Amino acid sequence: MTIKIGNAPCSWGIEFPSDPAYPAWTSVLDQCAGAGYKGIELGPIGYMPEDPAVLAPALAERDLEIIGGVVFRAFHDPDMWDDVLDASVRTCKALSAHGAKHLVLIDSISPRRAPTAGRASEAEQMDKAEWTAYRDRIQTIAKIGTEEYGLTTSIHAHAAGFMDFEPELDRLLSEVDESILKICFDTGHHSYAGFDPVAFMKRNVDRISYMHFKDINPSVKADVVANRTDFYTACGQGIFCNLGQGDVDFKAVRQCLLDAGFEGWCTVEQDCDPSMPGTPLEDARANREYLQSIGF
């Protein structure tokens, strides 16, 4: 089994292309490499330079490579289609320029779903027509990534969007061909949604092309679900703890990947509020050390 461990800009609080509070992209690269990682995700398109002549030398200087990139956009909103398409094509071009493999699609947070993150039985559902259009938008981008750019495109469930809970993920996977859409499986979001990450992996490991390693503090999860806390506030409360300190069984995750002969990248994603105690660099180091301690 050849598994490589990477990290992502969201572990430094980077969720959008720009914010005055964000660290410089060069600082994130420095810290990622300094914490012992050999790969990093692109982050939201526009955060890192889109000109490969600028980014490639910076990566080489730090012995890093781009693993993949995330399109975190409102797939659920037909009025945002131009934005989804623009971000997707730009991300595909950037990934291709660096020889990266993974295009990850995430439906962004919806005000209609934010209050019921972690509460599957209460969450509003799309009607048939809305779901069909939503599915088709995801399928269109999956085809672009896979057929036009030669990328491995995957869907990633995310708290507070319309692709959050396991039944929604199962439904999409049954309706979009596996040849164009794989799974980027996020252990933490699956737990946040109220489902068993390892059980899902065992059922679907053959379709998982990429992993996001994230852990969940069970006491914070119980509190934010009970209080209908929005996603970003939950991040600020520390719902995503360091790996090995939450309710995700990473030893069982490792065994599942081992049994399946999984090869490729597994990326640490510890969505955080940089204003919290500690630093992203300390967390990145601790997460790398934990994964090494259990055989990754």
pLDDT in tens, 253-262: 999 999 999 9
Give the model's pLDDT for residue 274: 61
What is d(CA 186, CA 184) in angstroms, rounded to the nearest whole number?
6
Q: Tally the residues of the chain.
A: 296
Q: List phi, psi (to 5°) of 148.
A: -90, -30
Q: Which of 26, 30, 28 is nearest to 11 (CA)?
A: 28
- Low-confidence stretches of the chain (pLDDT < 70) are 1, 273-278
What is d(CA 289, CA 287) in angstroms, rounded to the nearest whole number?
5
Give the model's pLDDT for residue 1: 56
Give the model's pLDDT for residue 88: 98
Beta carbons within 10 angstroms of residue 171's beta carbon? 14
Cα 84–chain centre separation:
16
Beta carbons within 10 angstroms of residue 230's beta carbon? 17
What is d(CA 160, CA 112) in angstroms, rounded to the nearest whole number?
8
Q: List phi, psi (to 5°) of 10.
A: -65, -20
Q: List phi, psi (to 5°) of 213.
A: -95, 120
- Domain with 125 in it: what CATH number? 3.20.20.150
What is d(CA 14, CA 235) in angstroms, rounded to the nearest whole number?
12
Instruction: Classify each residue of 261-289 as buried b or exposed e, where b means 16 or more C-beta atoms within 10 Å of its C-beta.
Output: ebebbbbbbbbbeeeeeeebbebbbbbbe
What is d(CA 107, CA 141) in angstroms, rounded to the nearest whole number?
12
Cα atoms found within 13 Å of the Cα of residue 233, Cβ hemisphere only: 10
What is d(CA 54, CA 59) in angstroms, rounded to the nearest whole number?
9
What tokens does 146 get? 């896979």
Whether the Cβ atoms of residue 185 and residue 193 lie closer than 8 Å to each other? no
Percent of the chain's residues with pLDDT above 70: 98
Give the model's pLDDT for residue 278: 67
Which residues partner with 183 through β-bridges? 155, 208
For the sheet with 182-186, list strands across it: 65-66, 39-40, 3-7, 264-268, 208-213, 182-186, 152-155, 102-107, 68-73
Whose structure tokens read 């309710």? 247
Domain count, the chain: 1
Instruction: Residue 246: give the domain boundaries.
Output: 3-293
Strands (E), 171-272: 182-186, 208-213, 264-268
Which residues partner with 13 through β-bridges? none
Q: What is the largest CA-CA distance in the chain?
A: 50
What is d(CA 83, CA 236) in angstroms, rounded to the nearest whole number?
27
